Structure 1
Amino acid sequence: MKELKQYLAQFPDVFASLGVVLSGFLIGLVANFLVFGVVRAVARRDAAGWARSVVRHLRRASAWFLPLLAISFLLPLVQLPPKPFEVLRRGVEMALILAFTWGLIKTLDVLQDLVQHRYQLSSPDNLRVRKLFTQLQFIKKLVASLIVFVGVGLVLMSFETVRRLGTGLLTSAGIASVIVGFAAQRSIGNLLAGFQIAFTQPIRIDDVLVVEGEWGRVEEITFTYVVLSIWDERRLVLPLNYFIEKPFQNWTRNSSQILGTVHLQTDYTVPVEAVRAELRRIVEGNPHWDARVCTLHVTDAKERTLELRCLVSAANASAVWELRCAVREQLVAFLQREYPGSLPRTRAVVEGSAAGAPALGAASVSG
């Protein structure tokens, strides 16, 4: 009966403690509502990029962090026995650390949005921006990993058992590091390759590459792999070490400007100067030409045909592709319309004429 009375006597303290916790939670929610109400008002009035980014990324994390912070401030008012109070304190402390870790990671997203708002990747001359974004993406992932590592470590180290285990592990850190080094050799190699790519930058975000016979743009660079967005919307995923150990083509290493070629096979009777003039007329009327290069040369004289090479320039790889297609189509149409005899022809000797002498004939083959 005495123990029952003691047990029932604790109920007021339990309800009072629950009221303190709920009060702290409500105070935090109200504070979160007021803070983000002000930020939303700023975003609506000034269309500020930072305000929209804060609302988008930090709203959920703050909805947990501020109530937990308010509860931690009100914990001294909780009237509980030592053991239940310690359990409550530990739980609030761990939840607060995890919420703070989440908020720090989301803060990195806000900083990334601010940089992307300041420097536009879609600008025509974006070499410096691509350099910055490549380093920013890698550094962001590295810092986020460190934040998670430290946050989880702080939670675990709040337990006495884990602290004792950590002390024991430190005494054997030398042997463990050797074992882990052998086991994770390739992973560590990829991590070091990531550092090398981020700061020496053989590739960058939005670079145009030709890798394994595929043309595409660098979409993402992680700690271990690179995602290449292929022109037909496929994705090619390659390990970081690939770009350190194997050759590949980078069409935007120093500039996005590029030259394109168009080859035509024609008959020996083709009027080269007329084709050259037509090429100039075509590119001058095409919006993809950047007015740098427009030349036509006879690059080969084969057994049956002449090879004409048209060299044109454009601001980027996509523009030069469109320009090459337009030049090829319009030059072929020009030859068909103005000089059909200059298309590739196959000549043959026809025997068996009435006089018994050989006669020459020619068969025209469109190419």
Structure 2
Amino acid sequence: MLRSLLTLLATVAATLAIGWIVDQALQRLAAGHPEAPVWAQLRRCRIPLQLTVVTALLLATHPLRRILHLAEEEGARHLLLLLLLASLGWLTVRVVAAVLEALLSRYESVAADPARVQRVRTQIGMLRRVVSAVIVVVTLAVMLLTFSAMRTVGASLLASAGIIGIVAGIAAQSTLGNFFAGLQIAFGDTVRIDDTVVVEGQQGTVEEITLSYLVVRLWDSRRLIVPVSYFVSKPFENWTRRDPGLLASVLLHLDHTTPVDELRAALHARLEEHPLWDGADWALNVTDTTPSTIVVRATMTTRNPDDAAQLRFDVREHLVAHLRDHHPGALPRLRTGDG
């Protein structure tokens, strides 16, 4: 009894020591190689690592049988084996996630193209979910195979696998369709995280992409949940697929007496001092006329759709205020007589 208790205490102490040593080693590696974020990411694997170590040591030394007075040692060993397999699966998921996140962080630090960064972020996120799902399925399958009853019925299961596959395929048709649609979105580069899209008349920013649905954050912070199959079966607008930059435009209906050249100069002066204008392009033109007004369109480029929306608001207010203060007659008026 005393020997088993000492063995148990030694197992716990060894587990804590191994976890501490590995964590300290990873911490030193992260401090010595700041350009390699994988070491810092791997520190998140400490808990599943310790669980794997302690179950492996308990399975090898089996001190719990005498401490708990277990009559059936096989049952305790089987339980520890299941726990070991589960912890190994958990550890593998954590390691894969840490490596993929480190690769993404490394790519974001060296890439200069925001569009490519968004594409890689979407692809790595989808790849992490797929690999994690595969690891979970394989882990559960191996755990089930440790039961003798599952091994004895293996032949009958294989015989009926065709029928079960057909039934499961019909029942999970929608789920599988979303799954493959998610893979097509991730690696087909049709929509990415942080893209600005218009879905069913709703404009928003893609916030999350999973294997079954896509989350779009709308302008008022509402979330629109859309099945990923929608983006491979129906048309939608993607304003930032190739380049997050956007051409913002403002339309004004003004009087025919409007000094267009002066208004153009006022727009340019405003853009020169505005932080949201990217300096690439701008213009102010008369695009149409009516019997009572002219249609003036001001255009300017921005770095992303959010900046475009705010710049439109600011430019519209500035141009209207300029005309009101300097040329009030240029604002449209309701004519009631010949003059």
Alignment identity in percent?
A: 34
Matched residue SS, 2:281? strand
Specify whether residues 122 and 322 from structure 1 end up closer, same or farther in structure 2 by C-alpha distance, changes over 3 A only: farther
Q: Is the 8 A contact 1:296 1:309 kept in 2?
A: yes
In structure 2, the gaps of 5 or more residues are none
Aligned residue number for residue 304 of structure 1: 292
**Is 1:173 matched with 2:161?**
yes
- Measured after TM superposition, the shift of residue 122 of structure 1 is 12
- TM-score, structure 2 as length reference: 0.91
Aligned residue number for residue 290 of structure 1: 278
**Is 1:222 matched with 2:200?**
no
Output the CA distance in 1 between the equivalents of 2:18 and 2:81.
20
- Measured after TM superposition, the shift of residue 91 of structure 1 is 1.8
Alignment length (residue pairs):
337
Kindly report which structure 2 residues correspond to 1:88-167, keeping only aligned pairs within 5 A, or say none.
88-120=76-108, 125-167=113-155
Specify whether residues 121 and 316 from structure 1 end up closer, same or farther in structure 2 by C-alpha distance, changes over 3 A only: farther
Matched residue SS, 1:119? helix
- Superposed CA RMSD in Å reads 2.6
Output the CA distance in 2 between the equivalents of 1:71 and 1:334.
80
Aligned residue number for residue 17 of structure 2: 30
**Aligned partner letter, 2:54:** P
Deviations 1:298-340 (A, max 9, x none): 1121232111011111111122222212211111111111111
Specify whether residues 186 and 77 from structure 1 end up closer, same or farther in structure 2 by C-alpha distance, changes over 3 A only: closer
Output the CA distance in 1 between the equivalents of 2:316 and 2:64.
82
Superposed structure 1 runs of 4+ greater than 6 Å apart: 76-83, 121-124
Kindly report which structure 2 residues correspond to 1:231-310, keeping only aligned pairs within 5 A, or say none.
231-310=219-298
Aligned residue number for residue 353 of structure 1: none
Aligned residue number for residue 67 of structure 1: 54
Larger RCO: 1 or 2 (CA < 8 Å, sep 6+): 2
Output the CA distance in 2 between the equivalents of 1:317 and 1:148.
39
Output the CA distance in 2 between the equivalents of 1:241 and 1:199.
14
Q: 2:26 aligns with which of 39, 42, 59?
A: 39
Specify whether residues 94 and 21 from structure 1 end up closer, same or farther in structure 2 by C-alpha distance, changes over 3 A only: farther
Structure number with bigger Rg: 1
**Aligned partner letter, 1:66:** V
Q: Is the 8 A contact 2:287 2:297 kept in 1?
A: yes
**Is 1:327 matched with 2:335?**
no
- Measured after TM superposition, the shift of residue 76 of structure 1 is 10
Deviates more, 1:137-146 or 1:111-120: 111-120
- Measured after TM superposition, the shift of residue 75 of structure 1 is 4.5
Deviates more, 1:116-125 or 1:62-71: 116-125
**Is 1:185 matched with 2:191?**
no
**Aligned partner letter, 2:100:** Q
Q: Is the 8 A contact 2:104 2:124 kept in 1?
A: no
Aligned residue number for residue 338 of structure 1: 326
Deviations 1:211-244 (A, max 9, x none): 2222222111111100112232221110011111
Matched residue SS, 1:337? helix
Output the CA distance in 1 between the equivalents of 2:108 and 2:282.
31
- TM-score, structure 1 as length reference: 0.84
